[in-house]
Amino acid sequence: MRYWDEHIECMDRSTLQEIQFKRLVETVKRVYTSVPYYRKKMQERGIIPEDIKSLDDLKKLPFTTKQDLRENYPYGLFAVPLSEIVRIHASSGTTGKPTVVGYTKHDIGIWSEVMARTLVAAGADKHSFVQIAYGYGLFTGGLGVHYGAERIGASVIPISSGNTRRQIQLMVDFGTTVLACTPSYALYLAETMEEMGIDKSQLKLKSGVFGAEPWSENMRKEIELKLNIKAYDIYGLSEIIGPGVSFECEYQCGMHINEDHFLPEIINPETGEVLGEGEYGELVFTTITKEGLPLIRYRTRDITTLHYDRCKCGRTLVRMEKVIGRTDDMIIIRGVNVFPSQIESVLLEMGEVEPHYQLIVDRVNNLDVLEVLVEVSERMFSDEVKKLEQLEKKITKAIEETLGISVKVRLVEPKTLERSEGKAKRVIDKRKI
């Protein structure tokens, strides 16, 4: 079995809970003392740190949202003096102000540690060559993986995102064994390799760690087939630490949350009520070791469920299932909740289309309409019109059966839809709501 820290990763739950409780109490005291915003929120609820007498009392504490971070822009939620902050990252801030994350030296150490666990679980070691095609800069992806790879002694190729043909050439020349990027970019790399006439047998790739956007099991199969690797899902978000919040092991039956650092809950996104094991809802995290930006009950907007049974790999760390969507990228069409990942699964099961699609939502005569643009393969596109019409009908029927609403499917030429070197833009909502 592959562990970075077997003692923690396989610890019995009662011992782990003791550690979690101790760290939770320390964190609540720290934010109450050092972050005026949290003190005010707790006072409004009539809570003092001494009220937290067990892990079950976590639910008494107030939630934190992305909006709270924006209202306290840039440093209002930091719990240490700025002189102790050694690194600042920020989200892209495509909607409003960016969310700003500060790290102390201690926080960077934790981040390196959780990413070391993540990479080792994906088969990396000190002999690996890790090519990091996540973006560097304010985005946490690149540097997060970078520090984890250095922690395990691997050779880091810090190429960042973009410059796709060069990425592939260096992959061949440098003997890259582990690829780290978004899943949609991994597929784009595979597509570009074909164009360059480079066969997957020319690569030394063994595994890939892919995250930063939701992707389906079918997309995993596609990546594994086209790059001849084992594809591992990783999960993280800047506000909590960056990549390394959770990771898959070789059994790929959910992502192990590094819960000695990040305490998870699943809540009903409407009511805020805590849900039981196996129930789907919104994932919420409390950071219990971070110094710079400790967050209490941070609402991720990601929809998943948790499993607490011991994994076949021997780890006892709780597993979260693949994120099936977000409460905020979930599209509601005629009262039905639609996640792009549902449509992606249908398309990839077809086999005759490429894994590139776009959803266009509009409102016509006061009625919501969903149009799905789907790229067909080169082979299919050169077929006669009748075959394309049959494929269009087949896809329409399959999507309508999955979603329970009518959709319009439009097949488009190969390479028509815009490719992304970061997160893929899957949904265009034209409705004026």
Q: Are residues 313 and 389 in the same domain?
A: no
- Of 308, 327, 346, the domain-final residue: 327
CATH of the domain at 10: 3.40.50.12780
Q: Are residues 11 and 152 in the same domain?
A: yes
Q: Are residues 190 and 137 in the same domain?
A: yes
Q: Are residues 198 and 300 in the same domain?
A: yes
Task: Show the 3-state SS of the chain.
Answer: CCCCCHHHHCCCHHHHHHHHHHHHHHHHHHHHHHCHHHHHHHHHCCCCHHHCCCHHHHHHCCCECHHHHHHCCCCCCCCCCHHHCCEEEECCCCCCCCCEEEECHHHHHHHHHHHHHHHHHCCCCCCCEEEECCCCCCCCHHHHHHHHHHHCCCEEECCCCCCHHHHHHHHHHHCCCEEEECHHHHHHHHHHHHHHCCCHHHCCCCEEEECCCCCCHHHHHHHHHHHCCEEEEEEEECCCCEEEEEEECCCCCCEEECCCCEEEEEECCCCCCECCCCCCEEEEEEECCCCCCCCCCEEEEEEECEECCCCCCCCCCCEECCCCEECCCCEEECCEEECHHHHHHHHHHHCCEEEEEEEEEEEECCEEEEEEEEEECHHHHCCCHHHHHHHHHHHHHHHHHHHCCCCEEEEECCCCCCCCCCCCCCEEECCCC
pTM of the model: 0.82
- Of 296, 327, 358, the domain-final residue: 327
- Of 284, 302, 327, the domain-final residue: 327
Report the domain count for the chain: 2
Q: Are residues 306 and 366 in the same domain?
A: no
pLDDT at 381: 76
Residue 238 lies in domain: 1-327
| Per-residue pLDDT tens digits of the chain, which is 433 residues long | 799 999 999 999 999 999 999 999 999 999 999 999 999 999 999 999 999 999 999 999 999 998 899 899 999 999 999 999 999 999 754 445 788 999 999 999 999 999 999 999 999 999 999 999 998 988 899 999 999 999 999 999 999 988 999 999 999 999 999 999 988 889 989 999 999 999 999 999 999 999 987 788 888 999 999 999 999 999 999 999 999 999 999 999 999 999 999 999 999 998 999 999 999 999 999 999 999 999 999 999 999 999 999 999 999 999 999 988 778 777 878 767 787 888 888 888 887 888 789 999 997 877 778 999 999 888 877 777 888 999 999 999 999 998 888 899 999 998 899 887 777 778 888 876 4
pLDDT at 213: 77
Q: Are residues 301 and 339 in the same domain?
A: no
Q: Are residues 260 and 345 in the same domain?
A: no
pLDDT at 368: 79
pLDDT at 92: 57
Q: Are residues 220 and 145 in the same domain?
A: yes
CATH of the domain at 422: 3.30.300.30
Q: Are residues 105 and 248 in the same domain?
A: yes
Q: Are residues 406 and 280 in the same domain?
A: no
Q: Are residues 203 and 260 in the same domain?
A: yes
Q: Are residues 342 and 210 in the same domain?
A: no
